Amino acid sequence: MVKLFSFEKKAGKQEVKDEEGGGFFSDLFKREGQKNAEKVQAEKKGDRVILKGRVPKKEDAERMIVSAGNTKGVAEVESQIEVEEPAENAKPDYTMYTVKSGDTLSKIAKAHYGDAMAYDIIFEANKPMLKDPDEIYPGQVLRVPPKDDAIA
């Protein structure tokens, strides 16, 4: 199933140049320590990144989608990644949240879970892309686990 995700093209710490193409993202996934990075191929067409491959778990695909989208110069990520995990075993979809000016993980956790101290749940859901809970920036897209899954 093909899914299209939108991102803020001007946001991101790293910038991909057109001539770097999909190899940039394969290297990025490996540098970040993304699980199953070798099973996903990336292709860059303008400001869209197309990810293809097959991974064991939905969260592996989501982490690569968010990582690719949080790159300066990327406006859309088209996911053609197949997930081996049966749908009945998969965790519910995470919310994709775009960081706004003044946001902190605690503020986002308070809004989603009613508990600012639950920020670590969001931090863990975005590793290895996030290295420090204080280093988020406006325009960055984060995976936010569903409340029932996160607080259970």
Q: What is the pLDDT at residue 149?
A: 59
The more confidently predicted of residues 128 and 80 is 80
Q: What is the pLDDT at residue 89?
A: 66
Give residue-wise pLDDT tens across range 116-150. Answer: 999 999 999 999 889 999 999 999 999 999 977 55
User: Which DSSP string corresponds to the chain?
Assistant: --EEEE--TT--SSB--GGGHHHHHHHHHHHHT-TTGGGEEEEEETTEEEEEEEES-HHHHHHHHHHHHTSBT--EEEEEEEE-S-TTTSPPPPEEEE--TT--HHHHHHHHHS-GGGHHHHHHHTTTT-S-TT---TT-EEEE--HHHHH-
pLDDT at 18 over 90: no
Take residue 13 and report the two structure tokens written for it. 């710490």
Give residue-wise pLDDT tens across range 82-112. Answer: 999 876 666 667 899 999 999 999 999 999 9
Q: What is the pLDDT at residue 38?
A: 95
- Taking the complete model, does pTM exceed 0.85, yes or no? no
pLDDT at 17 over 90: no
Mean pLDDT score across all residues of the chain: 90
Q: Which domains does the chain have, with CATH numbers?
A: 3-83 (3.30.1340), 95-151 (3.10.350.10)
Cα 68–chain centre separation: 7
